């Protein structure tokens, strides 16, 4: 009987731990954004796939603009 009570308490704690772990795991991955757009927001170019648009954004729009010291 005592073994059964201890077993129930241990399984209860394991279940609680699993629920907390699942919640933390879901929160970690829910912050990730998925880009499905195929049109560039900066210049308006359209692409056949979202991956190509992402490559374009990195290559064309991440360059720092030179500052003028006039």
Domain annotation covers residue 66: no
Q: What is the pLDDT of residue 46?
A: 92
Q: What is the pTM of this model?
A: 0.43
Which domain covers residue 37, as residue numbers?
Answer: 2-61
**In this model, does residue 40 exceed pLDDT 80?**
yes
Q: Decide if 6 is inside a domain.
A: yes
Average pLDDT over every residue of 33-59: 84
Residue 24 resides in a domain: yes
* Token code pair at residue 32: 């990730």
Flag whether 12 is in a domain: yes
For residue 51, the SS3 value is: helix
Cα separation, 53 vs 42, in Å, equals 11
CB 55 within 8 Å of CB 44 = no
Kindly state whether residue 15 falls inside one of the protein's structural domains: yes
In a domain, 35, yes or no: yes
Contact criterion met (CB below 8 Å) for 40 and 53: yes
Tell me, yes or no, whether 69 lies in a domain. no
Residue with tokens 């970690």: 28
- What is the number of structural domains in the chain? 1
Confidence of residue 57 (pLDDT cuts 50, 70, 90): confident
């Amino acid at each position: 009987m005592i073994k059964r009570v201890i077993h129930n308490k241990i399984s209860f704690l394991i279940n609680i731990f699993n629920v907390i772990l699942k919640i933390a795991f879901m929160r970690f991955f829910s912050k990730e954004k998925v880009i499905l757009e195929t049109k560039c927001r900066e210049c308006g170019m359209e692409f056949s796939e979202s991956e190509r648009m992402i490559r374009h954004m990195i290559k064309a729009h991440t360059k720092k603009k030179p500052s003028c010291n006039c």
